[in-house]
Amino acid sequence: MSEVTTLDMPRLEAQATEKTVLGFWAYLMTDCVLFASLFAVYAVLHGNTFGGPGGRELFKLPYVLIETMALLTSSFTCGLAMVAAQKRDRSQVLLWLGITFLLGLTFLGLELSEFHKMAIEGNSWRRSGFLSSYFTLVGTHGLHITFGLIWMAVTSVFMMKRGLTEGTLKRLTLLSLFWHFLDIVWIFIFTIVYLFGGVGI
Amino acid sequence: MSPKVSEHNAHPLSLGRYIVGFLGSITLTLTAYVLVTHGGTSRGVLMGVLAVLAVIQFVVQMVFFLHVGDERKPRWKLLIMWMMLGVILILVGGSIWIMNNLNYRMMDSPQQIQKYLKSQDDL
């Protein structure tokens, strides 16, 4: 950036943001490949229950639907935060980001309590190949959500301290991409793991 | 109303598009859920319908939440996305194909071997 300081700054800053967004997009797409590998593992191993319970016995679909709705709504409120950021309305951005955070936290809490319940019933990742692949796939998504929540908290603090600067707006833009991306991954987890599992495939 | 946040996009972010995406996603999720809980169709058909609903929701969220296809030319984001979809297709499709074929050839469980031998004896 040092050689360009005397030039047209706003335009160059916008270009730099554009490049950062493109780079982050490339990261998201490679993250997709990570999830695709875990989906492939799940697809191969989901029948190997080793005499243990399958998806049909383990998954409670109404519970998973609530999880799904929480995450979907949080993706929407994250979009509302971006619309507010475009209007340079800091209190609205913080409000929507707060709601997004709480919904994300609800999702994570529901998921962890589901994991906990399965584990104490003796159906942890050690039970069968099916459960190993299930916990790896869904757990990796949960880990992403956890990092997203930490990122969201940090961005909110930055925004409270520094206001809506170019830097915080850039962070917010990347965070919203990340958050929407995680919701898109969840569509496939919901369909392939839970709904297919509920049908008994 | 400065559109700086989305200068790389052709349109500024709009509330309406997020609402359309949200309502669309909710409808698709609930449809898939109801089909599974109240479904009377065969498993194969149901599986196909669920997969189609998931792909539609993927497109809806990519367009209305991630604004794919909104950027000005050259469309690098779109190009990277197609590349990713190609890699995923090869990775997932190839893995499932190879592993199923391997399972078939290996006859991994004793029950399967017994069943196979029995069918051979009958001949």
The answer to which of A66-75, B8-17, B44-53 has the lowest mean pLDDT is: B8-17
Same domain, B60 and B89: no
A195 touches chain B (CB under 8 A): yes
Is the four-CA dihedral A154, A156, A157, A163 of positive or negative sign?
A: positive
**Confidence (pLDDT) at B35:** 92
B contacts of A36 (beta carbons < 8 Å): 87-88, 91-92
Same domain, B57 and B26: yes
Q: Hey, what domains does chain A have and what are their CATH numbers? A: 57-199 (1.20.120.80)
- Residue where a domain stops, chosen among B32, B57, B72: B72
Digit-coded pLDDT (tens) for B52-73: 999 999 999 999 999 888 877 7
Same domain, B86 and B33: no
B contacts of A22 (beta carbons < 8 Å): 76-77
Same domain, B100 and B122: yes
pLDDT of B1 higher than 80: no
Q: How confident is the model at residue A200 (pLDDT cuts 50, 70, 90)?
A: confident
Looking at the 3D structure of chain B, how many domains does it have?
2
**Euclidean distance between the first and the last CA atom of chain A, given in angstroms as a whole number:** 55
Structural domain span for residue B29: 1-72
Same domain, B45 and B32: yes
**Residues B5, A191: C-beta atoms closer than 8 Å:** no
pLDDT of A20 higher than 60: yes
Other beta carbons within 10 angstroms of residue A132's beta carbon come to 17
Same domain, B26 and B78: no
Kindly state the average pLDDT of the residues A14-43: 92
Digit-coded pLDDT (tens) for B77-122: 999 999 999 999 999 999 999 988 887 777 667 777 777 677 666 5
| pTM assigned to the model | 0.88
**Confidence (pLDDT) at B5:** 45
With contact defined as beta carbons under 8 Å apart, do A166 and B44 qualify?
no
Kindly state the average pLDDT of the residues A108-136: 94
List of residues 6+ apart from B80 with CB closer than 8 A: A25, A26, A29
With contact defined as beta carbons under 8 Å apart, do B63 and A184 qualify?
no
Other beta carbons within 10 angstroms of residue A112's beta carbon come to 13
**Residues B91, A29: C-beta atoms closer than 8 Å:** no
**Residues A69, B26: C-beta atoms closer than 8 Å:** yes
Same domain, B3 and B57: yes
A contacts of B70 (beta carbons < 8 Å): none
The answer to which of A45-59, A138-152, B86-100 has the lowest mean pLDDT is: A45-59
Cβ-Cβ contacts under 8 Å between A and B: the total is 136
Rounded-to-integer distance, Cα A125 and Cα A127, Å: 6
Same domain, B67 and B82: no
Same domain, B52 and B41: yes
Rounded-to-integer distance, Cα A184 and Cα B83, Å: 17
pLDDT of A134 higher than 60: yes
Same domain, B14 and B66: yes
pLDDT over 90, % of chain A: 76
Nearest CA in chain B to A80: B15
Same domain, B93 and B35: no
A contacts of B80 (beta carbons < 8 Å): 25-26, 29
Same domain, B49 and B15: yes
**Confidence (pLDDT) at B84:** 94
B110: cis peptide before it, omega within 30°? no
A contacts of B92 (beta carbons < 8 Å): 36, 39-40, 43
Interface test with chain B among A11, A50, A80, A191, by most B beta carbons within 10 Å: A191
Kindly state the average pLDDT of the residues A196-201: 81
**Higher-pLDDT residue of A184, B104:** A184
Rounded-to-integer distance, Cα A59 and Cα A121, Å: 13
